[in-house]
Amino acid sequence: MNRFFSVMVVGNNPDEVLSKFDYNKRVPVYVKYRFCDKEKLYNQTVNVIETLLNSEDKYGLDEVAIKTLRAKLYKLKSMEAFDYYRYITNGLQYDENGDALSSENPNGKWITCKKDYDLINPLIITPQTINNFEKKEVFTAKKGEVDWVSMSNENTELYSRTWDLCVNNIEPETEQDKSIVKNMGHLVYYFNQFKDKEEYVIHNTAFWTNVFVDKNGVWYDIDETDSKDWIRNYLSRFIYNLDDNDKLTIYTCEAPQIVDKINDIDNDMEDVIDGY
């Protein structure tokens, strides 16, 4: 997941619902890592990094990220599973079995969470719900108030033009056309992910959020499924079956650093990276 991601929450108490996913929240002590799983934990981390490196185009890794991951993998492979277990459990308490205990929130997904933040697309309210009959952008609304059609058709012409310029190779006619070709024309691998222009345009104009939290507080995440399917079917899967009076709230959240998710190997990795 990106450092910042969008979340839509259904219900009248969205702040309360999101609080259970607060990374900084403390919970009763539980077993975070089991000593008997040390080889599994080690192998999982190696596999995550190798998967990222083997699909660097798919994950959009830049040169710095690739270099960092290679250095981490190099460091990892110099360790035994026991050494790795000692590293990731450093600072935690152990029980009689050598299992590592923690009070960190096992469901922690975010470290900061805000409404009305400029990195997310707001909800567009239909004119019929506003006295002055002008569209309005908000971050909290009832499902029946939102103009879902408008929200899924914004910038259609722009993305259609981008496909024509970069895939169909038509000649640029305006300064905007030239800018599109300059910034997007080399991304052949990206355009090749789509079967045709229609799929590309829908993918880039459809409304969606990275995460959807339903009425029961269940967290659904784009990272846990096929992203193209998530984006294409977001409204039909999550929105259209809701009651018109269901309250929807959008947030921008900041994720724990990726190193926390893959059990970062070393905090002073700079020397290894520079010498790699």
Task: Report which secondary-structure segment, H or E, holds 60.
Answer: none
pLDDT of amino acid 33: 96
Task: Give yes or no for residue 260 having a pLDDT over 80.
Answer: no
What residue ranges do the domains of the chain occupy? 29-104, 112-254
Contact 35, 98 (CB under 8 A): yes
Q: Name beta bridge partners: 161.
A: none
pLDDT band of 256, cuts 50, 70, 90: confident
Residue type, 57: D
3-class DSSP state of 147:
coil
- DSSP class of residue 259 equals H
3-class DSSP state of 78:
coil
Task: Indicate the length of the chain as a whole number.
Answer: 276
Tell me the pTM: 0.73
pLDDT of amino acid 155: 86
pLDDT tens-digit map of 31-51: 999 999 999 999 999 999 998
pLDDT tens-digit map of 191-249: 998 999 999 999 999 999 999 999 999 999 998 898 889 999 999 999 999 999 999 99
